[in-house]
Structure 1
Amino acid sequence: MAPVSEPINWKRNLFVAWLGCFLTGAAFSLVMPFLPLYVELLGVSGHEALNLWSGLVFSITFLFSAVASPFWGGLADRRGRKLMLLRSALGMAIVMALMGMAQNIWQFLALRAVLGLLGGFIPNANALIATQVPRNRSGWALGTLSTGGVSGALIGPLIGGLLADQYGLRPVFYITAAVLFICFMLTLFFVREQFTPVQRKDMLHARQVFASLKNPRLILALFVTTMIIQIATGSIAPILTLYVRDLAGDIHNLAFVSGLIASVPGVAALISAPRLGRLGDRIGPERILVCMLLFSVLLLIPMAFVQTPWQLAVLRFLLGAADGALLPAVQTLLIYNSSNQVAGRIFSYNQSFRDVGNVTGPLLGAAVSASYGFRAVFGVTALVVMFNALYSWRCLQRRPKPPQEKQLQEEP
């Protein structure tokens, strides 16, 4: 084992953390294409009931994650981020395996809640890397790391839909559990952290955390932006499979086609994220954030008028190009405006807002689709994203100078 004094290889940690975020994101999204079908398998029937339960089982995970995330973030600041990564990966692997054994909708709902309580891999990975990477490389590193979870989450549905068509619905949960266990093993053996435990009495309280920030109002605005981004993404998730079925009719490979349409944004994100990240380094992540939000609005509106699944797939591909830049831009702005001492909690608070968005989005989508039809969801989502774009633009007008600029001025 390497001596404690040996410098951390943050590039290796970044690579392993990226892979872990990718596997975690993929594992969560593997079940998304057939989640309504699994709810149907567990005994729920009827259009309105299916919409409502699909939204509920999708969102309850994020509701419990929003509650638990600040606790795990504080524990990470006290005990170390690697420990939290291990806890999250192993706990989620066990719960996923149990989901495949669920016999009724209530068991499945309870297990989805426990999954939320045990989550937190991605925000703790962000905190780990943010506290290790050189400050002048933080924007690139956090942007790169963010693409792991986003890409995994967007590519996972394609794999999940294919596996569901080939092997059935329940085996996909066992495969997902295996993927999460691989994530646990990679973290255990390859991630390194030099961490000195902090006593509870020496920890800053939540009010002190915000008092230590250079611009707490900007941080809060970024939290809200993260929430609205997730509301827009989540509103479509629970109705996508049913919308594809409405467009395509009763086709035999519905799970695969739905998974393909759900995952094509992942391919676009992989292509666009590095390029938009480099562009953000030149012109500023705040400009990338606002421009991509406006671009998303222009793509969501025509989704309400498509006539075939493939028209929807093309628009979602273009939407993925924008999505690949949104959360990385927010993460970069967060690390620019916070310190290593409170990074764990800042990212956990951001995760809580993200989870609130993940709760609200599916419920919004399910409610709108149940009352007004699937196509209305895209119009409502476009309005939400437009509000986010205007809100973000206003809040970022007074953004303080990035830390690398200040560092250059302070160096002799």
Structure 2
Amino acid sequence: MRLLKRNLIVCWFGMFITSVGMSQLGPILPLYIKHLGVHSSALIDQFSGIAFGITFIISAVFSPIWGKAADKYGRKPMLLRASLGMAVVVCCMGFVQNVYELVGLRLLQGVITGYSTACTTLIATQTDKEHAGWALGTLSTASISGSLLGPMIGGFIGENFGLQNVFFITGAMLLITFITTALFVKESFTRQDKKVLRIKEIWSSIPDKDLTIIMTVTFFVITLALYSVEPIITVYITELSHNTSHVALLAGMAFSASGLASIIAAPRLGKISDKIGAQKVILVTLIVSGLLFIPQAFVKNPWQLMVLRFLLGLATAGLIPSVNTLIKRITPDALTGRVFGYTMSAAYLGTFAGSILGGQVAAYLGIRYVFFITSGLLLINAVWVYFKVYKRLSLKEVESV
């Protein structure tokens, strides 16, 4: 337990920093692209979308590859590779001379990522069944809060220290992550599967394929819901606020309220899932999250939105750790890295799809419909989970008594 807590602390810090590194470009990207010599508003928007989204798309492709490598060579080597690689790449972004170099480095950042996948696999394989929800719940707060607070952190550093220093400071933090990982993370790794398995062989080795698919799709829907509001939050705050001088600050606070709530609630909901069953927590939090999106469409001022976003964070905090707990339960240890790699791919795709969905829905239907559609997706997912996961696992629990 002592080893687990130490690894959990180091992994939490590393996941938070790498998540910030993935997401902090949001508010400063258009400004940095303009700084690099692009002055057309249309081209700035186009390059911003490409540079931001390409990292998540490429990460979705490579996440299963690094998950497989974690199962083959150990989780700690993957942590060291990802943290050092990202430190170098992010620092290099501060030295680029044109937008094409920036896009190329963002692509490379997507290739070398994989810290979160290796962390989740490491903690999942070192945790017993009784404490899995608590451990994975605590770990999930790092990724969620880092991703949600990243844009605000990037905006703050860019405004107060300069755009280039966003990359240098983040790169330095990633280097510290590499050093602390090298010194303090301990892993006794024994490769259980000596044979190189193909995708079909891996799939045939998974005992509960239906449940794995449902949890992967749920992971996608969760991240899509969290990020559907990102493209429109500043515009929405502008509509709600009568004081336009603090729109950027209010938007950052509204978006980050969910991250703060997740830090508070995720470990507690993880403990609850250990006691009552992860499937129950997933079902309840999906329903509550879906319902909480609806009133966000009817708020009258930014403060009401912040309160609802905070409550939403309390609800969604139980989703990712519970999904990870169920995946850990049904996946053999030898395949844990690969399966978590696939679910992390779903998360990256959800982040990208959420940003695209929010912007397109707001453009064609209006901002308020973003909340309605996101709510509908979560509630539909809840119905699917109820019939295919909750009833099935609850019946198994009754039969085993």
The TM-score, its normalising length taken from structure 1, stands at 0.87
Distance 1:399 1:151, change over 3 A: farther
Checking the alignment, whether the CA contact within 8 Å between 1:239 and 1:369 is kept in structure 2 is yes
What is the deviation of 1:166?
A: 1.6
> For 2:224 and 2:361, how far apart are their aligned partners in 1?
13
What is the deviation of 1:87?
A: 0.8
Checking the alignment, whether the CA contact within 8 Å between 2:67 and 2:341 is kept in structure 1 is yes
Match of residue 330 from structure 1: 323
Q: RMSD of the alignment, in Å?
A: 2.9
Pick from 164, 169, 194: which aligns with 2:158? 164
Pick from 335, 338, 346: which aligns with 1:353? 346
> For 2:220 and 2:148, how far apart are their aligned partners in 1?
18
What is the deviation of 1:44?
A: 6.0
Match of residue 389 from structure 2: 396
> For 2:343 and 2:45, how far apart are their aligned partners in 1?
28
What is the deviation of 1:58?
A: 2.7
What is the deviation of 1:168?
A: 3.1
Match of residue 18 from structure 2: 24
Q: List gaps (5 residues or longer) in structure 2.
A: none
Pick from 202, 208, 220: which aligns with 1:215? 208
Instruction: State the secondary structure of the residue aligned to 2:318.
Output: helix
1:339 aligns with 2:337: no
Checking the alignment, whether the CA contact within 8 Å between 1:85 and 1:121 is kept in structure 2 is yes
Query: Greater CA deviation, 275-284 or 110-119?
Result: 275-284
Checking the alignment, whether the CA contact within 8 Å between 1:30 and 1:160 is kept in structure 2 is yes
**Matches of residues 19-58 of structure 1 in structure 2 within 5 Å?**
19-39=13-33, 43=38, 46=41, 53-58=47-52
Match of residue 77 from structure 1: 71
Pick from 174, 199, 203: which aligns with 1:206? 199
Instruction: State the secondary structure of the residue aligned to 1:138.
Output: helix
Match of residue 134 from structure 1: 128
Match of residue 294 from structure 1: 287
Identity, in percent, stands at 41
Residue by residue, what CA displacement relative to the aligned partner does 1:96-155 show, whole Å, maximum 9, x if unpaired?
Answer: 122233444433332222211111111111111222223433232222222222233233
Checking the alignment, whether the CA contact within 8 Å between 1:138 and 1:332 is kept in structure 2 is yes
The TM-score, its normalising length taken from structure 2, stands at 0.89
What is the deviation of 1:269?
A: 1.2
Letter in 1 for 2:100: W
Match of residue 189 from structure 1: 183
Checking the alignment, whether the CA contact within 8 Å between 1:69 and 1:348 is kept in structure 2 is yes
Match of residue 260 from structure 2: 267
Number of residue pairs matched by the alignment: 400
**Matches of residues 80-95 of structure 1 in structure 2 within 5 Å?**
80-95=74-89
What is the deviation of 1:224?
A: 0.8
> For 1:128 and 1:178, how far apart are their aligned partners in 2?
24
Query: Greater CA deviation, 370-379 or 331-340?
Result: 370-379
Match of residue 59 from structure 2: 65
Checking the alignment, whether the CA contact within 8 Å between 1:160 and 1:259 is kept in structure 2 is no
**Matches of residues 277-316 of structure 1 in structure 2 within 5 Å?**
277-316=270-309
Checking the alignment, whether the CA contact within 8 Å between 1:52 and 1:367 is kept in structure 2 is no
Letter in 2 for 1:13: N
Match of residue 243 from structure 1: 236
What is the deviation of 1:367?
A: 1.8
Distance 1:52 1:302, change over 3 A: farther
Distance 1:281 1:138, change over 3 A: closer
Distance 1:405 1:125, change over 3 A: farther
Checking the alignment, whether the CA contact within 8 Å between 1:237 and 1:362 is kept in structure 2 is yes
Residue by residue, what CA displacement relative to the aligned partner does 1:243-285 show, whole Å, maximum 9, x if unpaired?
Answer: 3344447844544333222211122112222222222222221
